[in-house]
C-alpha cells in the first residue's frame, strides 16, 4: 500500500518538476534578452549587511553605474564616502574624505579577480550560462524571482549558500539581490531610481582627474 | 720490366677475380642485412660539441617536465556552448589517461579555496616574515595608521564580493601578507601558458578552447616510442570528430624530423642514381661503366655497417651525407675509367698515383673530424673513410679487370677540351672580380647556432604550434636557474617516504634541508639583481629560516606590545561598528602560540611544486625562473658560480655556448685538415708552385660559398662548416689533377675526368637543394656552390696562372 502511494505521489510530482526546470531556462533566457538591451545603468542602492564581524547590521547607501561590457562604479555616500571603479583590468579606489585614489591591478590577483567576476556576474544579467554551475529555481514569476544555488563543483559554493535575484516588473534590471553566505552572513542590495541607457559622464570612470 | 707494388696488387686481384667477386658480393649482402637492423637517431645534441655546459642544458630541456609533455588545445567548432566543450574535452582527457605511454593528464587545477588559502598564508606570517621586514609593524602601530587601516577594512567588507576577503582580513587587517601574494602572483605569471579557469578547468581568454596537458614516459628523442605515442593520440583524436584538437609536443618534432630527413635522403639518392645512369648512357656509352656507379652504393652500405659496430645509434644527419660521399667516391672511378679507356693500363697506373694523392687528402679531411668532440662528426668520418677506401680499392684494382681498352670519346663536352686557347688575363680578372664580390657579400653573412636551424619539422607542425601559442601564449620561454636539491649530506628522509610534520623539503623525494637552504640563499642573492626572477624558496623559506623568523617575531611582539595593539585596534574598530571579536584571529596570529617552524607548506603554493621542483628517479633539481635576456644572464652567472653544480638553462645562453663550442671545435678540425691537405699536397707534388696551384680551387671555393650564402641570406650554421671541410677535400682533388699537367694536350683526359667528377658530385648534392630539412638544404647549397667554384677555378684559373707565371 505504501509502495502504491509512493508511485502515485511520484507520478503526480514528476510532471510538476519537469516543467519547472524548463521554465527556469526559458525565464533566464527571457531576462537575459531583456537585460541585453541595457547598455548603461545608473541606480541608487541600499545595501544591508549582516556580518558576524559587526555588532549590528551595516547599512550602506550610494549609487551604482554600469556600462557594458565591463565598467562598473560603486559609489558609497554613507556612512562613509568612497567609491570603487572597475574596468576589465583595474580597480580604482577613491577615498571620499581625502580624495585620494588608489589603483589596484586585478591581473594576477586571484582573490580580487574572483570578487570582481562575482560582482559583474550578478550585476550583468547574463544568467543563462549559470545553469551549468548553479542549480536554478524560479521562485516567483511576477515579479520574477530566481534562486541560484552553487553546484557541487562550483568554487563559489565554498562562500555562498544561495543568491536570490528579484527583477523589476519590466525585467530590464534587478530590483533586489540577496546573498546568503555559508557562515550565515547575508547581504541584501535594493536598487531604486533606476535609469537605463542614459549617458554616464566620463568623470565617473576617471575619479582621479 | 720490374713490377711495381701497383702491378703486384693489380695482378693479384686479377688472378683471384672470382674469389674477390664472391667476397665483395658477400660483404654487400652482410652489410645490407646489418644496415636494415641499425637504429638511427636525429638527436640535435649529437651534432653539437661535447661541452658539459651544452649537454647539461640540452639534457635539462629534453628531460624536464616541460619537454616530456603533450599539450592539447581543444575547440568545439561552431558556436557550441562552453559546457559541451568542457564535457567532450573531459571525456577525451579521461580516455587519454588510459593510454599506455601517458603517465598523467591535467585539465585544470584542483579548485582552490582562495579565501581559505589567503587566511592560511596570513596565519603563517610569524614564520614567513623575515626580520628585515619588521619595519611595517612599527608603521602600523600608531593610532592614526591603525584607524586608517580599519577604515580600509570597513570599505573592503562593505563592497560587493567582500565574502572572498573577509576571512583573510580577520587575520591580517593591515595587509602584511600582500607582498607574499604579490610574489605568488609573479610566480603564477611565470607559469608559461595564459589560462583562465572555467570551474576548475583550464580555458583560454575567450573561453572557447580547453587545455589538456599530458605527461608521458616516452623520452622526446626516442623515435620509436614517439611514433607509438603519437599514433595512439591520433587514433584517440579520431574518436572525437566533433572536436578540433591541436596537439603540440617535442615527440612530433622527432617523428617529423626523421621522416623529413629520410625523404630528403631518398630524393638525393634518386637524383644521384639518375645522374649516374645518364652519365653512363650519354657520356661513357658503355655498360662497363655500370660498376663505377654501383660501387659507391655498395661501399656506403658496407661503411654504414662498419660504423654501426663503433657507434650505438647512427645519426640520420650523417646519412644525409650519403649522396655526397657517393658523389665524391665515384670521382676516383671516373678518373680510373677515363685513364684506362684513353691509354690503357699504363695510363691507369699513372692516374693511380693521382687518385692515391687525391683520396688521401680527402680521407685526411675526414680524419680531421676525429679531432672534434662531436660524435656525429666521428660517425661521418668513419663512414666516409671506409666508403672512399673501399671505392678506391675497387676502382684501381678490381673493376678495371672487367674493362676492355678502347679509345674513349665523350659527347657533349668537347668545347671544354678543344684546342682553342682561352686568354689568361680575362680569366684571371674575372676570377679576382668574383673573389672581391664574394668578399664584399660576406659582410652580410650571419652565423647562427639557434637550435631551430636544425629543426626540419613539417610546416603542419609549425603551424599547429603557432596556432597553439596564439591561443595560449608560452612562445617566449624563460631562463631557468638549476640547483641540485640533494647536496652535501645524505637526504634526511628517503625518497617517497612521508613525514607527519613535514614541509616540502621532506615530502619531495631526495630534497635535503641543506639543498633547500642553498636554493633559498641563491634565490635571495639573485632576486635583487635579476629581473623577473621567481623561486619557490622566496615564499617558502627553509626550516632554519622559518625558525629564525619565528624567534624574531616573538622577540618583536612582546605581550606588552600586543596588548597595546589590541587596545588601539579595538578602539578604532568600535568606531566602525565592528564586534569585539572581529579581529581575534589577528591577535592570535600576533601571539604566535600555535605556530611551529616545521609547519606544512600552505595549500596555495602546492600547484607550484611541479614547476619549481624537477624530480626524476635519479635526482631532484630546484628551479628558479627569470626573463631570458643577456643582461640577466650576465648578472646571474657570477652568483651561480659560487654554488656547486648550479647552472643556467637559457635558450639565449645555449646559443652562445654552442657558438663558442662550435668555434673551438671547428678551429681544431680546420687546422688539422688544412695542415693535412697542405702537407700531403706538398709531400706528393714536391713542388711549391704546383702545390700553390693545386690550392687555387680551395681558396676560391671557401669565399664563393660564403658569398652565395650571404647573397641568399642563408645563415652559416655548424652544418655549413662541416660541409666546407668536405669541399676542402674535393677541391684539392681538382687542383691536384689539373695542376699535374702543364701541357694542354696532356691535361685533356684529366680535365675530362675532373668535369665528370664535378658532375657526379654535383648530382649527389643537387638533390639536396630540394631538401625540406634545413640542415640538408644548407648542405646542398654549400656543396653546389663550393663544388662549382672549385671546378671553374680548377678548369680555367689553374691553366691561366700556369700560362702567366710559367709552368
Q: What is the pLDDT of residues A116-153, one digit of tens each?
A: 666 777 777 777 667 767 888 888 888 888 898 988 76
Among chain B residues, the shortest Cα distance to A102 is held by B152
Most confident region among B312-321, B603-612, B654-663 by mean pLDDT: B603-612
Q: Which residues of B225-251 are buried (b: 16+ CB within 10 A; e: fewer)?
A: bbbbbbebbeebbeebeebebbbbbbb
When comparing pLDDT for B532 and B509, which is higher?
B532
A76 contacts on B by Cβ (under 8 Å) = 155, 158
Q: How far is CA A195 from CA A190, A191, B589, in A?
A: 14, 11, 47
Q: Choose from B155, B160, B190 for mutation: most chain A CBs within 10 A.
A: B160
Question: Do B155 and A80 count as a contact with CB atoms less than 8 A apart?
Answer: yes
Contact B118/A111, CB-based, under 8 Å?
yes
Q: Is the pLDDT of residue B564 over 90?
A: yes
Q: Whats the size of chain B, residue-wise?
A: 807
Task: Identify the band that residue B342 occupies on the pLDDT scale cut at 50, 70 and 90.
Answer: confident
Phi-psi region at A105: left, alpha or beta (left = phi > 0; alpha = psi -120 to 50): beta
Of B113, B168, B577, the CB nearest to A55: B577
Average pLDDT, chain B: 81
Mean pLDDT value across residues B353-362: 83
Backbone angles phi, psi at B58, to 5 degrees: -65, -40
B599, pLDDT greater than 70: yes
* 3-class secondary structure, B63: helix
Q: How far apart are CA B316 and CA B261, in angstroms?
A: 7
Domain covering A2-205 assigned CATH 2.50.20.10 in the classification = yes
In the block, cell 693479384 appears at: B12
Q: Check: CB of residue A88 under 8 Å from CB of residue A70.
A: yes
Contact B160 A56 (CB under 8 A): no
**What is the distance between the alpha carbons of residues B501 and B505, in angstroms, rounded to a whole number?**
11
pLDDT beyond 50 at B138: yes
Cell of B501: 610534520
Main-chain phi, psi angles of B708, to 5 degrees: -65, -45
Query: Taking the mean position of all CA atoms in its chain, how far away is CA B118?
Result: 42
Residue for grid cell 693500363:
B345
| pLDDT at B363 > cutoff 70 | yes
Beta-ladder partners of A186: A50, A180
Specify the pLDDT at position A6.
39
Cβ proximity of A146 and A137 under 8 Å: yes
The pLDDT tens digits for B179-232 are 888 888 778 766 667 777 666 677 887 778 888 988 888 877 777 888 899 999
Closest C-alpha among B732, B728, B744, B734 to residue B799: B744
Set out the domains of chain B in order of their start, with CATH numbers: 5-44+255-409+420-455+654-805 (1.20.1640.10), 53-110+193-249 (3.30.70.1430)
In our burial notation (b when 16+ CB lie closer than 10 A, e otherwise), range B348-364 reads: bbebbebbebbbbbbbb
pLDDT at site B504? 41
Lowest mean pLDDT segment, chosen from A186-190, B262-266, B453-457, B562-566: B453-457
Write out the H or E segment, with its range, that includes residue B722.
helix B718-739
Residue contact A55–B157, C-beta within 8 A? no
Distance from CA of A23 to the nearest CA of B (A): 19
Contact yes or no for B163 and A93 at CB 8 A:
no
Q: Which three cell numbers stand for residue B164?
A: 572572498
Instruction: pLDDT band for B506, please (50, 70, 90 cuts).
Output: very low
Q: What's the confidence (pLDDT) of residue B502?
A: 37
Q: Cell 593591515 identifies what position?
A: B174
Widest CA span of chain A, in angstroms?
77
The C-alpha atoms of residue B232 and residue B343 are separated, in whole angstroms, by 64
**CB contacts, 8 Å: B582 with chain A:** 53-54
Q: Let me know how long chain A is.
A: 209
- Map residue A157 onto helix, strand or coil: helix
Q: Which residues of A touch B189 (CB under 8 A)?
A: 108
Burial degree of B463 (CB within 10 A; 0-12, 13-18, 19+)? exposed
Best-predicted range by mean pLDDT among A47-56, B56-65, B506-515, B647-656?
A47-56
* Predicted pLDDT at B586: 93
pLDDT for res B700: 92
Nearest CA in chain B to A182: B163
Among B540-549, B553-562, B768-777, the minimum mean pLDDT is found in B768-777
* Residue B148 pLDDT > 60: yes
How far apart (Å, rounded) are the C-alpha atoms in residues B431 and B796? 9
Cell 711495381, residue? B4
Candidate from A47-61, B309-323, B332-346 with smallest mean pLDDT: B309-323
Residues paired with A137 in a beta bridge: A147
For B401, the 3-state DSSP assignment is: helix
| Average pLDDT over every residue of A4-24 | 41
DSSP B265: H
User: Among the listed ranges A13-27, A98-112, B705-719, which one has the minimum average pLDDT value?
Assistant: A13-27
| A60–chain B Cβ distance below 8 A for any pair | yes
Residues of B in contact with A109 (CB under 8 A): 181, 185
Non-local (6+) Cβ contacts of B379 within 8 A are B307, B310, B311, B314, B315, B318
Chain B CA closest to residue A93:
B155
Distance CA A80, CA A96 (A): 7
Please check the confidence at residue A10 and state whether its pLDDT lies above 60: no
Higher pLDDT, B394 or B474: B394
pLDDT greater at residue A62 or residue A2: A62
- pLDDT attached to residue B588: 93
**What is the pLDDT averaged over residues B277-297?**
78
- Indicate if the pLDDT at residue A48 is higher than 90: yes
Is ipTM > 0.90 here? Answer: no
Residue B423: exposure state from Cβ atoms within 10 A (0-12, 13-18, ≥19) = exposed
B526-537: average pLDDT: 89
Question: What band does B484 get if pLDDT is binned at 50, 70 and 90?
Answer: confident
Percent of chain B with pLDDT over 70: 88
Contact check, Cβ <8 Å, B578/A132: no
**CA trace torsion B158, B162, B166, B169 (10° rounding):** -70
Domain boundaries, chain A: 2-205
Between B413 and B142, whose confidence is greater? Answer: B142
Q: In this model, does residue B648 exceed pLDDT 50?
A: yes
Residue B439 has pLDDT above 50, yes or no: yes
Percentage with pLDDT > 70 across chain A: 78
- The mean pLDDT value for B113-125 works out to 83
pLDDT at B756: 77
> Residue with C-alpha cell 577604515?
B151
pLDDT band at B578 (very low <50, low <70, confident <90, very high): very high
| Of the listed ranges B111-120, B165-174, B430-439, the one predicted with least confidence | B111-120
Between B59-73, B89-103, B254-268, B724-738, the lowest mean confidence (pLDDT) is in B59-73
3-class DSSP string for B13-58: HHHCHHHHHHHHHHHHHHHHHHHHHCCEECCHHHHCCCCHHHHHHH
CA angle, A91 then A96 then A98, to 5° = 105
CA dist., res. B536 & res. B498, Å (int): 20
Asked whether B716 and B789 are in contact (CB, 8 A), the reply is no
- In the numeric block, the cell 571525456 is attached to B91
**Residue in chain A lying closest to B118 (CA):** A111
pLDDT at B513 over 60: yes
Select from B144, B152, B164 the residue whose CB has the most chain A CBs within 10 Å, as the one to mutate to test that interface.
B164
A169 pLDDT above the threshold of 90? no
| Closest to A131 in 3D by CA, of A33, A31, A24, A32 | A24
Question: Is the model's pLDDT at B410 over the cut of 50?
Answer: no
Q: What percent of chain B shows pLDDT beyond 90?
A: 13
Q: Which residue has the higher pLDDT, B147 or A18?
A: B147
Summarize the confidence of residues B21-30 as an average pLDDT. Answer: 90
Q: Enumerate the β-bridge partners of residue B247.
A: B72
Task: Write the pLDDT tens digit of every residue in B659-670.
Answer: 777 778 878 888
In angstroms, the CA B94 to CA B50 distance is 42
Q: Can you spell out the DSSP letters for B448-483?
A: ---GGGG----HHHHHHHHHHHHHH---SPPEEEEE
Amino acid at each position: 500500500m505504501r509502495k502504491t502511494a509512493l508511485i502515485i505521489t511520484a507520478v503526480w510530482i514528476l510532471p510538476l518538476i519537469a516543467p519547472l526546470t524548463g521554465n527556469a531556462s526559458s525565464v533566464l533566457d527571457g531576462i537575459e534578452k531583456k537585460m541585453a538591451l541595457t547598455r548603461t545603468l545608473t541606480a541608487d542602492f541600499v545595501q544591508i549587511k549582516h556580518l558576524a564581524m559587526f555588532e549590528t547590521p551595516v547599512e550602506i547607501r550610494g549609487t551604482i553605474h554600469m556600462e557594458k561590457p565591463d565598467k562598473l562604479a560603486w559609489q558609497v555616500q554613507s556612512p562613509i564616502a568612497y567609491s570603487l571603479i572597475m574596468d576589465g583590468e583595474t580597480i580604482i579606489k577613491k577615498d571620499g574624505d581625502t580624495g585620494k585614489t588608489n589603483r589596484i591591478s586585478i591581473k594576477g590577483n586571484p582573490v580580487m579577480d574572483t570578487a570582481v567576476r562575482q560582482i559583474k556576474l550578478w550585476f550583468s544579467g547574463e544568467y543563462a550560462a549559470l545553469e551549468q554551475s548553479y542549480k536554478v529555481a524560479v521562485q516567483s514569476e511576477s515579479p520574477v524571482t530566481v534562486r541560484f544555488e552553487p553546484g557541487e563543483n562550483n568554487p563559489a559554493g565554498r562562500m555562498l549558500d544561495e543568491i536570490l535575484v528579484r527583477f523589476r516588473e519590466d525585467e530590464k534590471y534587478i530590483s533586489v539581490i540577496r546573498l546568503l553566505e555559508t557562515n550565515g552572513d547575508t547581504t541584501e542590495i535594493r536598487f531604486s531610481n533606476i535609469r537605463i541607457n542614459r549617458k554616464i559622464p566620463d568623470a565617473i570612470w576617471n575619479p582621479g582627474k | 720490366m720490374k713490377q711495381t707494388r701497383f702491378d703486384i696488387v693489380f695482378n693479384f686481384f686479377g688472378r683471384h677475380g672470382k674469389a674477390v667477386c664472391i667476397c665483395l658480393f658477400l660483404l654487400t649482402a652482410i652489410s645490407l642485412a646489418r644496415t636494415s637492423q641499425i637504429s638511427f637517431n636525429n638527436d640535435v645534441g649529437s651534432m653539437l660539441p661535447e661541452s658539459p655546459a651544452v649537454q647539461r642544458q640540452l639534457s635539462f630541456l629534453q628531460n624536464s617536465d616541460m619537454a616530456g609533455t603533450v599539450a592539447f588545445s581543444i575547440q568545439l567548432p561552431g558556436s557550441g556552448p562552453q559546457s559541451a566543450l568542457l564535457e567532450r574535452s573531459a571525456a577525451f582527457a579521461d580516455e587519454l589517461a588510459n593510454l599506455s605511454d601517458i603517465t598523467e593528464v591535467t585539465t585544470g587545477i584542483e579548485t582552490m579555496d582562495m579565501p581559505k588559502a589567503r587566511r592560511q598564508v596570513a596565519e603563517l606570517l610569524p614564520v614567513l616574515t623575515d626580520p628585515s621586514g619588521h619595519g611595517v609593524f612599527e608603521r602600523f602601530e600608531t593610532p592614526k595608521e591603525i584607524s586608517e587601516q580599519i577604515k580600509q577594512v570597513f570599505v573592503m567588507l562593505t563592497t560587493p564580493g567582500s565574502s572572498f576577503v573577509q576571512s583573510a582580513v580577520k587575520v591580517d587587517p593591515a595587509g602584511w601578507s600582500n607582498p607574499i601574494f604579490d610574489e605568488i602572483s609573479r610566480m603564477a605569471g611565470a607559469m608559461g601558458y595564459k589560462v583562465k579557469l572555467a570551474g576548475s578547468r583550464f580555458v583560454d581568454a575567450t573561453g572557447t578552447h580547453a587545455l589538456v596537458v599530458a605527461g608521458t614516459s616516452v623520452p622526446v628523442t626516442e623515435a620509436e616510442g614517439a611514433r607509438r605515442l603519437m599514433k595512439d593520440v591520433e587514433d584517440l583524436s579520431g574518436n572525437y570528430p566533433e572536436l578540433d584538437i591541436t596537439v603540440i609536443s617535442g615527440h612530433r618534432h622527432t617523428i617529423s624530423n626523421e621522416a623529413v630527413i629520410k625523404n630528403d635522403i631518398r630524393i638525393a639518392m634518386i637524383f644521384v642514381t639518375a645522374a649516374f645512369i645518364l652519365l653512363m648512357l650519354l657520356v661513357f656509352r658503355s655498360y662497363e661503366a655500370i660498376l663505377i656507379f654501383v660501387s659507391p652504393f655498395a661501399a656506403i652500405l658496407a661503411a654504414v655497417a662498419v660504423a654501426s659496430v663503433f657507434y650505438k645509434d647512427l645519426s640520420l644527419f650523417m646519412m644525409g651525407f650519403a649522396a655526397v660521399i657517393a658523389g665524391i667516391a665515384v670521382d676516383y672511378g671516373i678518373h680510373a675509367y677515363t685513364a684506362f679507356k684513353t691509354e690503357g693500363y699504363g695510363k691507369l697506373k699513372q692516374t693511380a698515383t693521382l687518385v692515391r694523392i687525391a683520396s688521401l687528402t680527402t680521407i685526411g679531411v675526414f680524419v680531421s673530424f676525429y679531432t672534434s668532440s662531436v660524435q656525429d662528426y666521428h660517425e661521418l668520418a668513419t663512414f666516409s673513410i671506409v666508403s672512399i677506401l673501399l671505392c678506391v680499392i675497387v676502382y684501381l684494382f678490381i673493376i678495371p679487370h672487367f674493362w676492355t681498352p678502347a679509345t674513349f670519346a665523350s659527347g657533349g663536352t668537347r668545347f671544354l677540351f678543344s684546342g682553342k686557347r682561352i686568354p689568361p688575363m680575362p680569366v684571371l680578372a674575372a676570377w679576382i672580380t668574383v673573389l672581391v664580390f664574394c668578399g664584399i657579400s660576406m659582410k652580410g653573412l650571419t652565423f647562427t647556432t639557434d637550435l631551430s636551424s636544425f629543426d626540419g619539422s613539417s610546416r603542419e607542425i609549425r603551424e599547429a604550434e603557432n596556432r597553439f601559442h596564439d591561443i595560449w601564449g608560452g612562445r617566449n620561454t624563460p631562463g631557468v636557474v638549476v640547483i641540485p636539491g640533494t647536496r652535501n649530506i645524505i637526504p634526511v628522509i628517503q625518497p617517497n617516504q612521508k613525514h607527519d610534520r613535514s614541509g616540502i623539503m621532506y615530502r619531495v623525494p631526495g630534497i635535503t634541508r641543506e639543498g633547500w637552504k642553498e636554493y633559498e640563499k641563491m634565490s635571495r642573492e639573485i632576486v635583487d639583481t635579476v629581473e623577473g626572477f621567481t623561486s619557490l624558496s622566496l615564499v617558502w623559506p627553509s626550516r632554519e629560516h622559518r625558525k629564525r623568523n619565528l624567534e624574531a617575531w616573538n622577540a618583536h611582539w612582546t605581550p606588552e606590545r600586543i596588548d597595546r595593539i589590541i587596545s588601539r585596534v579595538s578602539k578604532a574598530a568600535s568606531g566602525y561598528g565592528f564586534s569585539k571579536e572581529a579581529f581575534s584571529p589577528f591577535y592570535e596570529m600576533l601571539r604566535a602560540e600555535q605556530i611551529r617552524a616545521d609547519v606544512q607548506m600552505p595549500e596555495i603554493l602546492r600547484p607550484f611544486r611541479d614547476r619549481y621542483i624537477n624530480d626524476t628517479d635519479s635526482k631532484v633539481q630546484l628551479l628558479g625562473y627569470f626573463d631570458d635576456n643577456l643582461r640577466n644572464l650576465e648578472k646571474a652567472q657570477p652568483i651561480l658560480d659560487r654554488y656547486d653544480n648550479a647552472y643556467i638553462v637559457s635558450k639565449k645562453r645555449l646559443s652562445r655556448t654552442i657558438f663558442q663550442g662550435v668555434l673551438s671545435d671547428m678551429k681544431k678540425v680546420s687546422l688539422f685538415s688544412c695542415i693535412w691537405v697542405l702537407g700531403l699536397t706538398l709531400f706528393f707534388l714536391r713542388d711549391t708552385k704546383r702545390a700553390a696551384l693545386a690550392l687555387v680551387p680551395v681558396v676560391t671555393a671557401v669565399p664563393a660559398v660564403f658569398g652565395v650564402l650571404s647573397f641568399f641570406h642563408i645563415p652559416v650554421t655548424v652544418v655549413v662548416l662541416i660541409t666546407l671541410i668536405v669541399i676542402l677535400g674535393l677541391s684539392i682533388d681538382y687542383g691536384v689533377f689539373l695542376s699535374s699537367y702543364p701541357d694542354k694536350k696532356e691535361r685533356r683526359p684529366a680535365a675530362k675526368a675532373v668535369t665528370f667528377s664535378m658532375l657526379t658530385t654535383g648530382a649527389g648534392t643537387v638533390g639536396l637543394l630540394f631538401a625540406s630539412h634545413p640542415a640538408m638544404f644548407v648542405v646542398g647549397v654549400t656543396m653546389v656552390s663550393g663544388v662549382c667554384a672549385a671546378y671553374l677555378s680548377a678548369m680555367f684559373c689553374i691553366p691561366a696562372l700556369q700560362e702567366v707565371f710559367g709552368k
